[in-house]
């Protein structure tokens, strides 16, 4: 039994079968990649996983509990954090504040009124945020206005914000899309380091095969809304069905 | 001090000094001089400064922090006034219960309206608050003033009549709103040389509350709660996926700002025991938006500056007429004098709203940070100049080393 | 039955005004993505186009009429409009009487010019700014426009009568098979409704059957893609703003005889028109028209004596109540599309 279990999920948009009988099991503490050509249903699947879309049928279990019907913030509180294709950070806030908010969310839950306490007196939150920035090598940027940073730094910060919550599952949606090679490699190294240092499961949806094969332990190939094969990277590389799905070659 | 850092404490002390010394500061011109009309140190206007200051500080907690633009905040001000006058009518002229009740009523209304309006964001939210405010206005103006059930007294406005019960009113107490016997109209006039200064009980009650409310808003700005509100404005997607439920945060901000508005409405009734529906019209809500934007939303001091600016110039502009202008430009040749007066004519007197509208547009277009940003830009200009001097000195001194 | 028809008819004139303003608001919102708080002011300026033309046509010089005397026995001074001098008394008088319909011709170029000037001079710079800023700057513009009108025309309503031919009422009851006098309806309001229907039909067929309209509709659906196709969408949007301004202006011109124009009529209509847009569904043109008429008619029913004695003042709040209920049960409005303004 994996930490994330997707069973018989179907989703139709009008006449289009976006997801057909998707079954997927993500092992705890693994790095699992979901790949597939454009329109294979990767984004739809992701949106189902984080509670943005409700599937027509099927179930999604995280650590034995259903995530269906829950709001995105509830799913996060269960231990799933999400990294977006374009970095979603609090652009108007400083880097340090960006890092404090997830720590508050972890400690105080989805809503807690702390209107008359002072942020600068929250010693332990500040300390944790500082440590996190330290480990991201961003401590010198703590008072930067976060919107003014480079895309690579924003991505780093976003991943750090997710990690600050100690999630059990980290979902990444094409984390290196639109990045320069150097930034891509930095991100790969960062994710490797995270996986080595922590008890964390990483599920990654990705286009870039370089990223996938550098990171993943298991790979699921989606095509036309259904899983085509699931295997280790080595087996996937030479798999005839995958070549067919990607290149249109007949097997 | 008081849980504030050094800069905030300084700001609070400055605001406190300004508020307490307002009767002096706002009356710089001798009473008999021609410039006396630019004095603003009379009770009525000073009270308005403080009351609108409170109103706009509250509005800024919502709009400045969360970015939710409400076009219906005057509704809370209006119900606050009605609540206070009802306390006067039924129980006592003491302002303490009246003000407390107006805050409670403001909160209840804000909770109900906010609960529904906050189901949507962006312009939907603005339009919903607008619709609610106009509905409240219509309710107050006509629906709730019928003979069967007269809650607001319609067009005439709600006021205290001699046959009202006033259960706790004693004969020894003033027959006007009072603070434990001290009439809100009590006024002490101090004459120093050619100057007259007014110290008014009503004003000082308002000013004391302004300070308390300003202090509370500072605490909110610097709190984790305030940080969450700024997170709402900055990126709601990230907020949701960080495990935070944005709606109760926004609703709490909405209710807090509604309480500020209710308090402002209660104070209006406290200094003048009358409540009318026109206070709730959406143009009145628009006015508080103007104040906040003009001063600088999201900053602590900006909205108060905006309120003071608008209320002061509204008052001054309405006093300037063509004769005054002719007086000012008398030094010019006649033709030119008439020409300038003719050009300025549309903007003065009753034309104040035109001036305000143009000013507001200019601020939105060129100075989104309002007066505060304007001040900062000017400050930076000076600093850059002196900075350049320093740099020049530095380069000059290099060869010598 | 006849009472119901009468109330429906009574709702049509306000409903037409709501529909026309809401149509323009939706066009601007759908194409440019801008929430125009100055749209009510454009409606008001339209009404003042009618006022202005009437004043211009009535410009007079003084003549001394030898045939009449005043009470002192002196010859009477008479105001004689220039148009009567130029075109002869009968045609001249007709021109003055028909100044409101003539103002349609006068207002179209004026409103188009104002619309294009506002878009090029102001709105253009706000496409990339937050919606709140757009609301604020157009709100400021609305205040400025309204104060300018107040400066030139004063604060009091200015009566602007319809042509005498339409001044009376028609007995619609007979035409519909009811008793005479059952449904008496002012002729001008019928004209107004027909006019509104014409304009709405015109706008829709323009969007439906012309290439220009097709591009605009495509732009409403997906601005970026249309831009990528190398179509200059910006110029079309400028023209669209002009057209929306003209629609609001025409609604105002023809409304002048129904309610004497005053400087704040724009603001009064603006709030209700927003409610109409939201009820109809943000970004839906048919929704705006439908909701405009529905709410106009609903308001008329709520204004009946029966309704106002049952719930005093219901006519004042009914529209807001309906709007709140619609938004709570159908957050996208009656005909709103998914994904419009949901951020």
Spell out which residues of chain B touch residue C282, defining contact as CB-CB under 8 Å: 123-124
Residue B179, in any domain of the structure: yes
pLDDT digits (tens, 9 = 90+) for A8-18: 999 988 888 88
Residue C90, in any domain of the structure: no
Spell out which residues of chain B touch residue C327, defining contact as CB-CB under 8 Å: 116, 119-120, 124, 128
Q: Verify whether the Cβ–Cβ distance A105 to B222 is below 8 Å.
A: no
Residue C187, in any domain of the structure: yes
| A102–chain B Cβ distance below 8 A for any pair | yes
Residue-range domain boundaries for chain A:
1-79+167-251, 94-166
Q: Verify whether the Cβ–Cβ distance B223 to A116 is below 8 Å.
A: yes
Task: Give the pLDDT score at B210.
Answer: 97
| C32–chain B Cβ distance below 8 A for any pair | no
Task: Give the pLDDT score at B202.
Answer: 93
Q: Tell me how far apart the alpha carbons of residues B286 and C136 are, in angstroms, rounded to a whole number.
A: 9
B166 pLDDT more than 90:
no
pLDDT digits (tens, 9 = 90+) for B291-348: 999 999 989 999 999 999 999 998 888 888 888 888 888 888 888 888 888 888 888 8
Using an 8 Å Cβ cutoff, are A45 and A220 in contact?
Answer: no
Of B127, B354, B360, the CB nearest to C278: B127
Using an 8 Å Cβ cutoff, are B152 and B85 in contact?
Answer: no
Which residues contact residue C107 at a Cβ distance below 8 angstroms, ignoring those fewer than 6 apart?
C46, C49, C50, C53, C246, C249, C250, C252, C253
Range of the domain at C8: 2-59+96-329
Judge A/C contact: 3 or more CB pairs < 8 A: no
Q: Looking at residue B63, what DSSP letter applies? A: H
CA distance B135 to chain C (A): 5
Task: Give the pLDDT score at B293.
Answer: 93
Q: Indicate which CATH number applies to the domain containing C319.
A: 1.10.3470
pLDDT band at B401 (very low <50, low <70, confident <90, very high): very low
Spell out which residues of chain A touch residue B231, defining contact as CB-CB under 8 Å: 90, 93, 101
Spell out which residues of chain B touch residue C135, defining contact as CB-CB under 8 Å: 69, 123, 126
Mean pLDDT of A142-159: 91
What pTM value is reported for the model?
0.90
Token pair for C122: 């102001």
Residue B384, in any domain of the structure: no
B72 pLDDT more than 50:
yes
What separation in angstroms does the CA of B128 have from each of B69, B114, C297, C337?
A: 11, 10, 21, 19
Q: Verify whether the Cβ–Cβ distance B67 to C132 is below 8 Å.
A: yes
- Bridge partners of A31, per DSSP, are A202
Spell out which residues of chain A touch residue B5, defining contact as CB-CB under 8 Å: 120
| B222–chain A Cβ distance below 8 A for any pair | yes
CA A123 to chain centre: 29
Which residues contact residue B129 at a Cβ distance below 8 angstroms, ignoring those fewer than 6 apart?
B70, B71, B72, B73, B113, B117, B285
Task: Give the pLDDT score at B106.
Answer: 97
Q: Tell me how far apart the alpha carbons of residues A245 and A223 are, in angstroms, rounded to a whole number.
A: 7
Of A90, A100, A113, the CB nearest to B238: A90
Neighbours of chain C (3+ CB pairs under 8 A): B
pLDDT digits (tens, 9 = 90+) for B346-360: 888 788 889 999 999
Range of the domain at B177: 6-31+40-286+293-301
The more confidently predicted of residues C42 and B149 is C42
Spell out which residues of chain B touch residue A50, defining contact as CB-CB under 8 Å: 241
Q: What residues of chain B, 4 to 23, have a C-beta less than 8 Å from chain A?
A: 5
Token pair for B3: 């849980």
Please count the structural domains in chain C. 1
Task: Give the pLDDT score at B395.
Answer: 40
Q: Verify whether the Cβ–Cβ distance B123 to C131 is below 8 Å.
A: yes
Where do the H-state alpha helices sit in A11-169?
42-49, 72-78, 95-108, 123-135, 151-163
Residue C91, in any domain of the structure: no
The CATH architecture of the domain made up of A1-79+167-251 is: 3-Layer(aba) Sandwich (3.40)
| B388–chain A Cβ distance below 8 A for any pair | no
| A124–chain B Cβ distance below 8 A for any pair | no
Give the number of other Cβ atoms within 10 Å of residue B238's Cβ.
22
Residue C337, in any domain of the structure: no
Residue B99, in any domain of the structure: yes
Choose the mutation target among B127, B237, B359 for the interface with C, i.e. most C CBs under 10 Å.
B127
Neighbours of chain A (3+ CB pairs under 8 A): B
Side-chain-side CA neighbours of C300 within 13 Å: the count stands at 20
Task: Give the pLDDT score at A81.
Answer: 93
Q: Verify whether the Cβ–Cβ distance B135 to C321 is below 8 Å.
A: yes
Neighbours of chain B (3+ CB pairs under 8 A): A, C
> Complex ipTM, two decimals?
0.91
pLDDT band at B263 (very low <50, low <70, confident <90, very high): very high
CA C98 to chain centre: 19
Residue B260, in any domain of the structure: yes
B386 pLDDT more than 80:
no
Task: Give the pLDDT score at B296.
Answer: 92
Residue B57, in any domain of the structure: yes
CA torsion angle for B293, B298, B300, B301 (degrees, to 10)?
Answer: -20
Q: Verify whether the Cβ–Cβ distance A92 to B234 is below 8 Å.
A: yes
B257 pLDDT more than 70:
yes
A179 pLDDT more than 90:
no
Residue C84, in any domain of the structure: no
Question: Average pLDDT by consecutive 10-residue portion of chain C (343 residues)?
Answer: 82 90 89 87 94 87 75 74 79 83 90 94 87 90 93 90 82 74 82 93 91 81 70 80 94 91 89 88 88 92 83 83 83 70 45
Please count the structural domains in chain B. 1
Q: What is the DSSP string of C69-122?
A: E-TTSSEEEEEEEHHHHHH-HHHHHHHHHTHHHHHHHHHHHHHHHHHHHHHHHT
Please provide the average confidence, as pLDDT, over all residues in chain A. Answer: 88
| A145–chain B Cβ distance below 8 A for any pair | no
Q: What residues of chain A, 11 to 30, have a C-beta less than 8 Å from chain B?
A: none
B34 pLDDT more than 90:
no
């Amino acid at each position: 039994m994996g930490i994330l279990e997707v069973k018989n999920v179907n989703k139709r948009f009008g006449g289009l079968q976006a997801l057909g009988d998707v079954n997927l099991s993500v092992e705890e503490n693994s790095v699992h990649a979901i790949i597939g050509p454009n329109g294979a249903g990767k984004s739809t699947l992701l949106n189902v996983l984080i509670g943005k879309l409700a599937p027509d049928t099927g179930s999604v279990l995280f650590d034995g509990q259903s995530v269906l019907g829950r709001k995105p913030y509830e799913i996060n509180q269960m231990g799933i954090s999400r990294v977006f294709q374009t970095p979603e950070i609090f652009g108007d806030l400083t880097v340090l504040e960006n890092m404090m908010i997830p720590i508050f969310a972890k400690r105080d839950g989805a809503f807690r009124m702390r209107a008359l306490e002072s942020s600068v007196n929250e010693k332990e939150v500040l300390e944790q945020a500082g440590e996190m920035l330290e480990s991201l090598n961003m401590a010198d940027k703590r008072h930067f206005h976060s919107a003014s940073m480079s895309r690579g730094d924003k991505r780093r910060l976003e991943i750090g914000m997710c990690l600050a919550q100690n999630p059990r599952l980290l979902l990444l949606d094409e984390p290196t899309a639109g990045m320069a090679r150097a930034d891509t490699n930095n991100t790969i190294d960062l994710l490797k380091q995270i996986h080595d240092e922590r008890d964390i499961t990483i599920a990654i949806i990705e286009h870039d095969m370089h990223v996938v094969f550098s990171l993943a332990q298991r790979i699921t190939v989606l095509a036309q809304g259904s899983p085509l094969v699931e295997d280790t990277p080595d087996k996937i590389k030479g798999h005839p069905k995958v070549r067919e799905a990607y290149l249109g070659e007949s097997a | 001090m008081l849980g504030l850092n050094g800069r905030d404490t300084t700001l609070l002390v400055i605001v406190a000094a300004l508020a307490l010394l307002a009767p002096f500061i706002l009356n710089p011109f001798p009473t008999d001089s021609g410039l006396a009309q630019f004095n603003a140190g009379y009770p009525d206007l000073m009270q308005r400064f403080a009351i609108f200051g409170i109103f706009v500080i509250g509005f800024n907690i919502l709009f400045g922090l969360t970015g939710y633009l409400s076009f219906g905040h005057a509704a809370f001000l209006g119900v606050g006034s009605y609540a206070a006058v009802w306390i006067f009518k039924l129980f006592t002229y003491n302002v303490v219960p009246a003000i407390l009740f107006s805050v409670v009523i403001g909160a209840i209304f804000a909770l109900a309206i906010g609960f529904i309006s906050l189901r949507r964001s962006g312009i939907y939210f603005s339009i919903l608050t607008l619709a609610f405010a106009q509905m409240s206005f219509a309710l107050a103006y006509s629906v709730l003033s019928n003979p069967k059930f007269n809650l607001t007294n319609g067009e005439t406005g709600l006021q205290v009549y001699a046959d009202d019960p006033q259960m706790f009113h004693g004969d020894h107490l003033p027959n006007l709103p009072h603070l434990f016997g001290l009439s809100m109209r009590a006024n002490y006039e101090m004459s120093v040389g050619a100057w007259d200064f007014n110290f008014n009980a009503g004003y000082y009650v308002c000013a004391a509350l302004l300070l308390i409310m300003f202090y509370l808003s500072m605490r909110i700005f610097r709190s984790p709660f305030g940080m969450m509100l700024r997170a709402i404005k900055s990126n709601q997607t990230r907020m949701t996926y960080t495990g935070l439920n944005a709606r109760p945060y926004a609703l709490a901000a909405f209710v807090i700002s509604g309480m500020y508005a209710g308090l402002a409405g209660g104070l209006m009734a406290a200094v003048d025991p009358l409540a009318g529906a026109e206070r709730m019209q959406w143009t009145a809500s628009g006015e508080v938006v103007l104040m906040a934007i003009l001063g600088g939303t999201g900053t602590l001091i900006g909205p108060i500056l905006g309120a003071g600016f608008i209320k002061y110039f509204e008052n001054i502009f309405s006093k300037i007429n063509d004769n005054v202008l002719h007086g000012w430009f008398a030094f010019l040749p006649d033709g030119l004098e008439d020409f300038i007066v003719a050009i300025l004519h549309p903007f003065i007197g009753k034309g104040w709203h035109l001036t305000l509208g143009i000013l507001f547009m200019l601020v939105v277009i060129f100075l989104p940070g309002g007066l505060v940003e304007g001040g900062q830009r000017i400050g930076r200009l000076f600093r850059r100049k002196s900075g350049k001097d320093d740099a020049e000195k530095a380069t000059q001194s290099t060869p010598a080393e | 039955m006849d009472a119901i028809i009468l109330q429906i008819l009574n709702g049509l004139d306000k409903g037409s005004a709501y529909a026309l303003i809401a149509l323009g608001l939706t066009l601007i919102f759908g194409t440019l993505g801008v929430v125009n708080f100055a749209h009510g002011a454009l409606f008001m300026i339209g009404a003042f186009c009618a006022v202005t033309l009437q004043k211009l046509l009535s410009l007079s010089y003084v003549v001394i009429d030898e045939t009449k005397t005043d009470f002192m026995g002196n010859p009477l001074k008479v105001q004689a409009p220039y148009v009567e001098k130029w075109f002869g008394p009968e045609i001249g008088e007709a021109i003055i009487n028909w100044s409101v319909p003539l103002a349609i011709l006068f207002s179209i170029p004026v409103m188009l010019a104002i619309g294009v000037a506002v878009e090029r001079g102001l709105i253009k710079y706000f496409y990339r700014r937050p919606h709140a800023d757009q609301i604020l700057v157009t709100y400021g513009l609305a205040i400025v426009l309204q104060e300018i009108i107040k400066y030139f025309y004063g604060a009091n309503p200015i009566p602007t009568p319809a042509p005498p031919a339409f001044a009376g009422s028609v007995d619609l009851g007979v035409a519909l098979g009811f008793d005479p006098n059952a449904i008496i309806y002012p002729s001008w309001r019928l004209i107004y409704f027909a006019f509104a229907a014409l304009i709405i039909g015109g706008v829709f067929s323009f969007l439906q059957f012309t290439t220009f309209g097709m591009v605009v509709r495509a732009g409403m659906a997906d601005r970026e893609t249309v831009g990528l196709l190398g179509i200059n969408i910006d110029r079309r949007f400028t023209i669209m703003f002009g057209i929306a301004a003209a629609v609001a202006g025409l609604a105002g011109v023809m409304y002048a005889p129904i309610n004497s124009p005053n400087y704040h009529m724009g603001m009064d209509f603006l709030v209700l028109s927003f409610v109409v847009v939201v009820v109809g569904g943000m970004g839906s043109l048919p929704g705006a028209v439908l909701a405009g008429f529905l709410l106009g008619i609903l308001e008329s029913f709520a204004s009946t004596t029966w309704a106002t004695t049952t719930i005093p003042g219901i006519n004042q709040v009914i529209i807001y109540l309906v709007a709140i209920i619609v938004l709570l049960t159908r957050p996208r409005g009656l005909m709103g599309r998914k994904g419009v303004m949901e951020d």
